Structure 1
Amino acid sequence: MQAFQVKAPHDFDVSEQPSPQPAAGEVVVDVAFAGICGSDMHIIHGDNAFVRFPRITGHEFAGVISVVGEGVDAGRVGERVCIDPVVNCGQCYPCRIGRPNVCSAMQVIGVHRHGGFAEQVNVPAGNAWRIPDTLGLDSAALVEPYSIAANVLARMEPHAGDRLLVIGAGVIGLTIVQMAQAMGIEDIIVTDIIEERLATALELGARHVINGREQDLEQAVQELTAGEGIPLIADAACVPAMLPGMLRMACPAGRIGLLGFNPTPSDLVQLEVIKKELTLVGSRLNNRKFPEVLAHIEAGRLDPHALVSHRVALRDMPGAIHMLDTTPEKARKVLVDIAS
C-alpha cells in the first residue's frame, strides 16, 4: 500500500509500505480522506517528543472498515467511520475518573502508532465511530479537529451569555469559533495578526475581530467589554508570552483554556489569578467528544467544508507540506484525498 512516512525529522516521502493486519479487537480501515494538522508539521520538524521514527502520520481521517480482527463483529465490514486517535489503557487514574485523553499510558494514532496518511490503517474497533449515511467521508475526516474545540470549550464550562475571546485564527481557532456557536455562545471575539484569517473568522460567525499587529489587544478588549473583561479565553495561538495578557484581559471568575505544547516558560502573575479567582485549564486532544461533534455536523450547526482551503492527492503530500512550511498564511485545512 502507499503511505506518507516520516523517516526522521525533515525526511519524508510517499512510498510502498506493508499492508496492516488487525490484531484482536482491531479493524482495518481503507482510508478515504485525511487532514494535515499543525501537529503533523511538528512531527516533520522534529518538535514532537512523543513520536518514534519511522512513522506513518495522520490523526484526522475517515474511511471504510474492510477487515475485522478477532472479537470484532463481522457486520462492521463496510461501515463508514471516522477515527478518534486517542487510545487509552482503561486502568490508570485518569481513565478511572473519565479522563482517558490524559491516560498515563496513552497512545495517539499517527504519533505513537501508525496513522491515516495511508491507503489502509489498523485501529482499535472502539476508536472507529460510525458516521451518518448523509455525511460525506471528506467531512467526517474533520471531526477530530472539531473535537479539540469541543474539549477546550467544555473544560472552560461556559455559562449562558458568556463572551469568548479566541486568540489565533488558524484552523483550531476557527473550529473553536464554529463549535462555540453550535454550543450557543454568540458573542465571539477573535484576534490574529493575519488579515485573511480574521476575514474568515468573520465569515464563520465571529462578532468582532482584532488585528494584534495594528491594534493594542488589551485596550481593544477593554473597549469592547466596557472594562469588564472576558469570561472565556481560548488560546489557540499557543504563544507562552501571551499568558500575562490573558490574565489581565480575563474578567473576575474568568476561565482560560490552554492548548499549546510549547515548553517555553510563561510568566504567571499569581496576584492576577487570585484576586480574580481565575481558572486556568489545559486541554489535550478530546475526551470522547466524537458523538457530540457528529451530532452538530449532522444537524448543520458545523460546516467542515468551510475549513478546507486545499485538496491534494496522497502522492502530492510532499508538495503540500512544502506549501504549509513556506506560505502557511495561504492555507487553512489541507485535505488529502487518499484514494485519488
Structure 2
Amino acid sequence: MRAAIVDQPGSIRVGDVPDPVPRERQVVLRVGATGICGTDLHIADGHFPPTPYPIVPGHEFAGEIVEVGNDVPGGWRPGDRVAVDPSLFCGYCGPCHAGHGNLCENWGATGDTVDGAFAEYVAVPAANCYRLPDHLSYQQGALVEPVSCAVHGVRRVGVEAGERFLVVGAGTMGLLMQQLLQRAGARVTVVDRNTARLGRAKELGAQAVAGDVTELDGERFDAAADCTGAVPAIEAAFDSLRRGGRLLVFGVAPAEARVALSPFRIYNDEITVVGSMAVLHSYGAALDLVAGGAVDTASLLTDSLSLERFPEALDLMRSGAGLKVQVLPGASDA
C-alpha cells in the first residue's frame, strides 16, 4: 500500500509499505481522511521525543473497516464506518491504574509511536473504534480527535458561565477551544499574530479579537488557554490573568523550551497553571458534540490533498495559510 513515511527527522516521502495485518482484537481500516496537526510537524522535525523512526504518522482519522482480527470485541464487521481514538495506554502502570491513561508510563498513540493513518490502510485496536453516524463524513470524523483533546483541555482548566476567557492562537485547536468555551457560557477573546485567522474567530462568536495581547489595553481575564506552544505566547497569557486566574498550557512546545513565569504572582495571586495532554475519557463526548452540530466543522475544514501530496500538505500546515489540512488517501490527483 501507499503511505507517507518519515524515515528520520527532515526526511519525508510517500512510498510503498506492507499492508497492515490485524492482530488479535484489532481491525484494519481503509482510511477515509486524516488530519494534520502541530504534533505531525514536530514528528517530521524530530521534536516529539516518544516517536521512533521510521514511522507512518497520522493520528486524526476515520475510515471503513475492511478486515477484522481474532477475538474482536464490539461486534465490528467489514463495512462499518468508524472514527478512532489513537490512544494506546498500557493499562498496568501506576497512572493507568489511577485512571490517568494519558499519562501512561508506556504511553503510545497510533501515528505517534506506531504506524498511523497517512496511508491507504491502518491497523488499530477494535476497542478504540467509535461508530461514525451516517450523516457525518470521514472528514468530519477525522476532526473528532482534535475535538476530544479540546474537551479534555476544557475539563482541565474549568469554565463557568460569564467568565472572561483569553484564547491565544486561532488555528484549529484555538477555534475548537473557543467554541467549547462559548458553549459553556464564557466570553472569549481570541489573539493570533496571523491576523488573517481572526475573522473566522469573530464569525464563530468571539467577543473580541486582536493580533497581540498588548492590543487589549491591559484587560485582565479569569482564565487563559495557550494553543500555540510558543514561549512568548504562554508568558503573555500568564501576564493577562487577574488575581486568582487560571492558565491552561494546551499547545505543544519543544521539550527543551522554558518559560519565565513569576513565582511570586503564582503564590501571591493564587494563579493556577495546568497542562492538558491529549485524550482522556473525552473521545466519545467529542463525537457526540460533532455529531450534534455543537462544533462548526465546515468553518475549520479548509484544505484536502491526496496522499501523494503529503509533503505539500505538511508545508501548507506549516505556513499557517489554512486551518485544518487533511489528507484523503483515496483521492486522486487527476
Taking structure 1 as the reference length, the TM-score comes to: 0.92
> Residue in 2 aligned with 1:195?
195
Q: CA–CA distance in 2 between the matches of 1:10 and 1:271?
A: 41
Deviations 1:283-321 (A, max 9, x none): 111112111111111221112221111111111222222
Residue pairs, 1:36-115, within 5 angstroms: 36-73=36-73, 75-77=75-77, 78-115=79-116
Task: Structure 2: give runs of 5+ residues left out of the alignment.
Answer: none
> Residue in 2 aligned with 1:226?
none
Q: Give aligned-pair identity as a percent.
A: 33
SS at match of 1:293: helix
The reply to whether residue 220 of structure 1 matches residue 212 of structure 2 is no
Deviations 1:190-247 (A, max 9, x none): 01111111111111221100111xx724x5342xxxxxx2112101121223444333
Alpha-carbon contact 1:34-1:116 (below 8 Å) kept: yes
Q: CA–CA distance in 2 between the matches of 1:3 and 1:271?
A: 50
Residue pairs, 1:129-168, within 5 angstroms: 129-168=130-169
Give, in angstroms, the shift of residue 186 of structure 1: 3.8
> Residue in 1 aligned with 2:293?
300
Alpha-carbon contact 1:252-1:277 (below 8 Å) kept: yes
Q: CA–CA distance in 1 between the matches of 2:316 and 2:157?
A: 34
Q: CA–CA distance in 2 between the matches of 1:131 and 1:220?
A: 45
Q: CA–CA distance in 2 between the matches of 1:164 and 1:157?
A: 11
Change (3 A) 1:319 1:246: closer
Following superposition, which runs of at least 4 residues in structure 1 exceed 6 angstroms of deviation?
Answer: none
Paired AA for residue 338 in structure 1: P
SS at match of 1:166: strand
Paired AA for residue 116 in structure 1: A
Change (3 A) 1:221 1:109: farther
Alpha-carbon contact 1:310-1:335 (below 8 Å) kept: yes
> Residue in 2 aligned with 1:32?
32
Give, in angstroms, the shift of residue 106 of structure 1: 1.0
The reply to whether residue 8 of structure 1 matches residue 1 of structure 2 is no
Give, in angstroms, the shift of residue 74 of structure 1: 8.1
CA RMSD of aligned residues (A): 1.6
SS at match of 2:24: coil
The reply to whether residue 239 of structure 1 matches residue 230 of structure 2 is yes
> Residue in 2 aligned with 1:178?
179
Alpha-carbon contact 2:61-2:143 (below 8 Å) kept: yes
| Matched positions, count | 328
Taking structure 2 as the reference length, the TM-score comes to: 0.93
Change (3 A) 1:33 1:242: closer
